[in-house]
């Protein structure tokens, strides 16, 4: 699914009977406007000055709604908090082992790997995720 605009996503949610609230709009707009892959807590910290009555639970509940609706991907890496990505294009992630920064990069989809996995395991493959681990340029300079 290609990245949707905030207005397209909100319209689709409305058509599915989801009531639009200012908080939902703010969370979705924030996610679609950042290049980072924020945690729910980071989203809360960014939005709480404008929405002082919004709780972290509200953020989590709305993120779950957006993930279930297919507008946002939940990224889980190890035991760290889930991160959320509104870029639904085919892309991969490079992750810094020191600071945890996640950077998107595009590379042709590795469809031959999916086919090999299907052939070897008998699975009906629905997709894959690849992470590249290393040290980002900022952390490299500090070392």
Enter the tokens of residue 140: 């490299």
Residues 8-30: tens digit of each pLDDT: 877 888 887 888 889 999 999 99
- In the listed set 85, 101, 130, which residue is the last one of a domain according to the structure? 85
- Burial bucket for residue 126 (CB in 10 Å: 0-12, 13-18, 19+): exposed
Strand 131-134 with 92-96, pairing: parallel
Are residue 26 and residue 76 in the same domain, yes or no? yes
pLDDT for 11:
80
Residues 41-84: tens digit of each pLDDT: 999 999 999 999 999 999 999 999 999 988 899 998 766 679 99
Instruction: Look over the chain and give the mean of its residue pLDDT values, rounded to a whole number.
Output: 89
47: in domain: yes
Structure pTM?
A: 0.80
Are residue 67 and residue 43 in the same domain, yes or no? yes
Enclosing domain of residue 43 = 6-85
CATH code of the domain containing 18: 1.10.10.10
pLDDT for 3:
47
């Amino acid at each position: 699914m290609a990245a949707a605009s905030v207005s397209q996503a909100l319209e689709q949610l409305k058509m599915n009977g989801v009531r639009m609230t200012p908080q939902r709009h703010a969370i979705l707009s924030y996610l679609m406007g950042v290049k980072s892959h924020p945690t729910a807590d980071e989203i809360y910290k960014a939005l709480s000055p404008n929405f002082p009555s919004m709780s972290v639970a509200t953020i989590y509940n709305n993120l779950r709604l957006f993930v279930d609706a297919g507008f946002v991907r939940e990224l889980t890496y190890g035991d760290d908090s889930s991160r959320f990505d509104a870029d639904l294009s085919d892309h991969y992630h490079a992750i810094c082992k020191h600071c945890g920064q996640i950077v998107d990069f595009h590379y042709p989809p590795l469809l031959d790997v999916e086919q090999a996995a299907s052939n070897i395991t008998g699975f009906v493959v629905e997709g894959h995720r690849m992470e590249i681990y290393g040290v980002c340029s900022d952390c490299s300079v500090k070392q």
